[in-house]
Structure 1
Amino acid sequence: MSSARRNGPLALAFNAVVITFMLAPLLVVCAVAFTSENTLSLPGWNWSLRWFHAVFDHPDFMQSFWNSLWLALASATLATLLAVPAALAINRCQFAGREALNGLFMSPLVVPHLVLGVALLRLFALVGGTGSFAWLVLAHALVITPYVLRLVLAALVGFDRSVEQAAASLGASPATVFGRITLPLILPGVSGGWLLAFINSFDEVTMSIFVTAPSTVTLPVRMYMYATESIDPLMAAVSALMVAITAVAMVALDRLYGLDRVLVGKA
């Protein structure tokens, strides 16, 4: 049965209105980024790349972009290294505290990022990690690990372990079984989780405001700071670039894993 038959005209119209309502602000911001004026206004016939050039010529924004990029790469990789063995243990082992361990890993999704930011700021002050890029990576890994964990757990559902057992019976070591059998079979979940973690780390702003230092300011935090001082089309250009980066990453995630399976994993 086709989607049109399952959903009546009113349901389709309602979905169209909701999608338009959600996408309209993004489309307006992206359109404003191409204005040639000095104020936030929709471009007429004179479309310009002036403000995109201004972004690349702005040293603070470029430094913040590289900070966000390296931070997202490092924290997503660390989160994946933590989530894969945790998912294997939760999925395959029966031990006391199994559900508690799962709840512990998933707890950053429940705690507001504002609360996490204040708590991590206090922790970094106590251990002398304020302003350290390494501690900032740990903070982001804490927030994004649940995304990787859920997708790896979803990839392990229905996993046929007879292939692993056959390899082990032929003399393969546990490391060989994992590297040549297990990991390739769950690789879509691992790569999809890594990419989803990368997106969330790159866009994180609420917690980052509390734990960044002047030398480690991320791009979302830089945008927040700039918006408190002035509002001009430069902000629209930066926002349009971030929308483009996120859209490309989401398309890659859909190709690697499938957005419908991601939504099931996050649920």
Structure 2
Amino acid sequence: MQKNGPVALLFHTLVVSFVLAPLAVICLVAFTPENTLSIPTTSFSLRWFKAIFEHPDFVASFVNSLWLATLAATLSVAISVPAALAIDRYDFPGRNALNALFLSPLIIPHLVLGVAFLRLFALIGATGSFAWLVACHVVVITPYVLRLVMAAFTGLDRSAEQAAMTLGASHWTVFRRVTAPMILPGITGGWLLAFINSFDELTMSIFVTSPQTVTLPVRMYMYATESIDPMMAAVSALMIALTAVAMLVLDRAFGLDKILVGQK
């Protein structure tokens, strides 16, 4: 395998630093003892992390986002696994059209989706419903799950499935005992990626949330329009830490290479 030269290593270092620099600055500002957005130079403080729990609206919005992302990601997996199995294994009329339908939310701006959902909910009288908010997020995040599950199916060695069927196992038993464990990294990665995208979704959620179902990103946006203080950096730092821990656990459990390119 050819190793990267000094120029390539320098280029990669600059790119990674450019991407991570804003996140590092946000995390540093979260520990400032000052009342303004500033990097601490003399001392660090947890005052702005404590301030989050003094705002019950933020805590309630965090719970809303947690439930929303969990339900939406789980439903997306429940939809994507049979859809990926049908698209990957079977040749039927409308197969390409079905695949394009599932992936179409990737090419539609979330602003357009938000306005469309708002109009739809106004027509059917579903404005403010948490269930319909979950449905909106399922539409947006299902393409991410579908792509990872399809990648897992593509990289799957079917000899174990064929051996199980030869021994008399039913299709459901083969899927439950053989196929599902082999594609578990793809399913888990798709669920986590869907969870993160749902938890962080802002543009569409602004249009379809109600005062009772405000998510954390929407709450942050509403707060930032009134005042900007280091508490926003503290909330952002917690979200960054949550995402980083989830990715670390996933990498230790399955390996991100297997999740992103499919099980080999």
Provide TM-score, normalisation by structure 2.
0.94
Given that residues 189 and 257 in structure 1 are in contact (C-alpha distance below 8 angstroms), is that contact kept between their aligned partners in structure 2? no
- State the 1:10 CA deviation: 2.5
In structure 1, the partner of 2:219 is 222
Q: 1:196-241 deviations in whole A, cap 9, x for unaligned?
A: 1111111111111111111101001111111110000111100110
- State the 1:19 CA deviation: 1.6
Given candidates 25, 33, 57, the residue that maps to 2:30 is: 33
Matched position secondary structure for 2:14: helix
Tell me: CA distance 1:256–1:128, structure 2 relative to 1, closer, same or farther (3 Å). farther
Given candidates 11, 16, 19, the residue that maps to 1:14 is: 11
Given that residues 185 and 259 in structure 2 are in contact (C-alpha distance below 8 angstroms), is that contact kept between their aligned partners in structure 1? no
- State the 1:256 CA deviation: 4.2
In structure 1, the partner of 2:164 is 167
One-letter code of the match for 1:56? F
Given that residues 113 and 207 in structure 1 are in contact (C-alpha distance below 8 angstroms), is that contact kept between their aligned partners in structure 2? yes
Provide TM-score, normalisation by structure 1.
0.93
- State the 1:185 CA deviation: 1.2
- State the 1:175 CA deviation: 2.0
Q: 1:113-132 deviations in whole A, cap 9, x for unaligned?
A: 11111111111111221111
In structure 2, the partner of 1:116 is 113
Given that residues 117 and 211 in structure 1 are in contact (C-alpha distance below 8 angstroms), is that contact kept between their aligned partners in structure 2? yes
- State the 1:259 CA deviation: 3.4
In structure 1, the partner of 2:250 is 253
In structure 2, the partner of 1:52 is 49
What is the alpha-carbon root mean square deviation over aligned residues?
1.6
The CA distance in 2 between the partners of 1:200 and 1:164, in whole Å, is 33
Gaps of 5+ in 2: none
The CA distance in 2 between the partners of 1:150 and 1:129, in whole Å, is 30
The CA distance in 2 between the partners of 1:184 and 1:146, in whole Å, is 22
Gaps of 5+ in 1: none
Given that residues 153 and 183 in structure 2 are in contact (C-alpha distance below 8 angstroms), is that contact kept between their aligned partners in structure 1? yes
In structure 1, the partner of 2:181 is 184
Aligned residues: 262
Tell me: CA distance 1:13–1:158, structure 2 relative to 1, closer, same or farther (3 Å). closer
In structure 1, the partner of 2:93 is 96
- State the 1:103 CA deviation: 0.7
